[in-house]
Amino acid sequence: MPMSSDADSALEGRITISVDAMGGDNGPKAVVAGLAKSAEKNPEIGFILHGPEDQLAPLIAKRKLTDRCVIRDVQGVVAMGDKPAHVMRHGRDTSMWSTIESVRNGEAEVAVSCGNTGALMALSMVRLKKLEGVNRPAIACLWPSRNSHGFNVMLDVGADIRADQDDLLQFALMGVSYARNGLGLEQPRVGLLNVGTEEHKGRAELKVAHDMIGAAAPDGQFDFVGFVEGGDIPSDRVDVIVTDGFTGNVALKTGEGTATLIRDLLKEAFAYSPLSRIAALLSLTSMKRLQKRIDPRRVNGGVFLGLNGTVVKSHGSSDDTGVSAAIKLAFTLAKGRFTERLAARVASGQSLLQDIGTTEQDERLQQ
């Protein structure tokens, strides 16, 4: 769909982000508030916003974004409970579908949505298609860590529950590209998640993937630290953690639940007695610093990797801070031409697989 002259003038000279205004738990008001936060901080960003125009236009006008934002009027909404197959058959007139189409048509560099993860992944795979050579796309997330840059990259965290040795190698290469372009790391350190760090531990495909990733490290310009365990996910030992989608999603949800538990227990502890409430006041500055460091809204945004276009999945319960964080990530990736660089890295992985051959892998799997 070609842009109108109004759209051209509003977005000219800006990096354009395609945003799904509907589908999140907090509705379009929170999404537009997040856009306003991002627009205030960065004059280079422009937006194509997808959803019912009668709802979005007043919100855009109130936030004074009319010169930075183009509205695509679509009435349908993908609900959180909608099945991906249903969305694929009946979802053309939805904000999510329209959001992906803007990237597919080259009107925007990155798509951002707070909506149904399964539907978003299905639409992204069908409309954008996988990069040549990619077997399984992956979802990468940022995990708070002890590293100086504050985060580690972990993938896959739920795009597909399966992954063989070839997939794990591709995940490693895609994770390196993300760490380099999203976190600014020149020589990322990669670890392969396992039940132990010893080379003899783990499933057969993990052992094969261990050797393949290690062989790819010199040409791929990353350091392979070998197997890592669950306790290493937030550590400063590694920058990229590679695993299958089942394991990664369980780890992600466990981490989110643990963080919520700790927050609730701290609230209970500080409210226990008058003395503890005084202690809470005395430690207020430190607690705010800790809260900011582990605030999941600051790392909001899982990135779909392995597609002909970049898609950022914002959390369904995102408020304006969370949406703004997802847009900031989308902008950073778009400015660094992430999709092009990721395609080049995947192509290098294909060359490596051809060099390694399949004979050695088959022999190792039979052991």
Per-residue confidence in pLDDT tens, the chain, 367 aa: 444 445 556 677 789 999 999 988 888 999 999 999 999 888 889 999 999 999 999 999 999 998 889 999 999 999 888 898 999 998 899 999 999 999 999 999 999 999 888 899 999 999 999 888 888 899 998 888 888 888 899 998 988 888 999 899 999 999 998 898 878 888 999 999 998 888 778 888 999 999 999 998 988 889 999 999 999 998 999 999 999 999 998 988 888 788 778 778 888 888 888 887 787 777 767 666 666 655 555 556 688 998 999 999 988 888 888 899 899 889 988 888 888 888 877 776 666 666 655 445 555 555 5
85: domain CATH number is: 3.40.718.10
Strands 110-113 and 310-313: parallel
DSSP letter assigned to residue 49: E
Q: Please tell me whether residues 79 and 155 are part of one structural domain.
A: no
CA 338, 332, 124 angle in degrees (round to 5)?
55
Q: Please tell me whether residues 109 and 167 are part of one structural domain.
A: no
Nearest to 328 by CA among 359, 304, 357, 299: 299
Nearest to 213 by CA among 153, 180, 165: 165
Q: Please tell me whether residues 137 and 278 are part of one structural domain.
A: yes
Q: Please tell me whether residues 252 and 365 are part of one structural domain.
A: yes
CA distances from 308 to 116, 127, 195 (A): 20, 9, 34
Q: Is residue 299 part of a domain?
A: no
pLDDT for 105 equals: 93
Q: Please tell me whether residues 329 and 364 are part of one structural domain.
A: no
Q: Please tell me whether residues 167 and 221 are part of one structural domain.
A: yes
Q: Which two tokens stand for residue 287?
A: 């607690």
How would you list the strands of the sheet with 110-113, edge to edge? 69-73, 45-51, 15-20, 110-113, 310-313, 302-305, 138-144, 151-155, 240-242, 189-193, 223-228
> What is the rounded CA–CA span in Å between residue 2 and residue 181?
29
The total number of structural domains in the chain stands at 2
CB 160 within 8 A of CB 245: yes
Q: Please tell me whether residues 233 and 166 are part of one structural domain.
A: yes
Q: Is residue 332 part of a domain?
A: yes
Q: Is residue 300 part of a domain?
A: no
φ/ψ of residue 305, rounded to 5 = -110, 145
Q: Is residue 11 part of a domain?
A: yes
Q: Is residue 302 part of a domain?
A: no
Q: Is residue 24 classed as helix, strand or coil in its secondary structure?
A: coil
> What is the rounded CA–CA span in Å between residue 44 and residue 29?
22
> What is the rounded CA–CA span in Å between residue 321 and residue 33?
8
Q: Please tell me whether residues 233 and 142 are part of one structural domain.
A: yes
pLDDT for 16 equals: 93
Q: Please tell me whether residues 143 and 74 are part of one structural domain.
A: no
Say what the pTM is.
0.80
Q: Is residue 333 classed as helix, strand or coil in its secondary structure?
A: helix
Q: Please tell me whether residues 154 and 276 are part of one structural domain.
A: yes
pLDDT for 194 equals: 94
Q: Please tell me whether residues 180 and 98 are part of one structural domain.
A: no
Residues of the domain holding 158: 132-294+337-367
Q: Is residue 301 part of a domain?
A: no
pLDDT for 272 equals: 80
Q: Please tell me whether residues 287 and 316 are part of one structural domain.
A: no
Sequence-ordered list of residues with C-beta below 8 angstroms from that of 340, at least 6 positions apart, any chain: none
> What is the rounded CA–CA span in Å between residue 238 and residue 365?
27
Nearest to 177 by CA among 147, 137, 222: 222
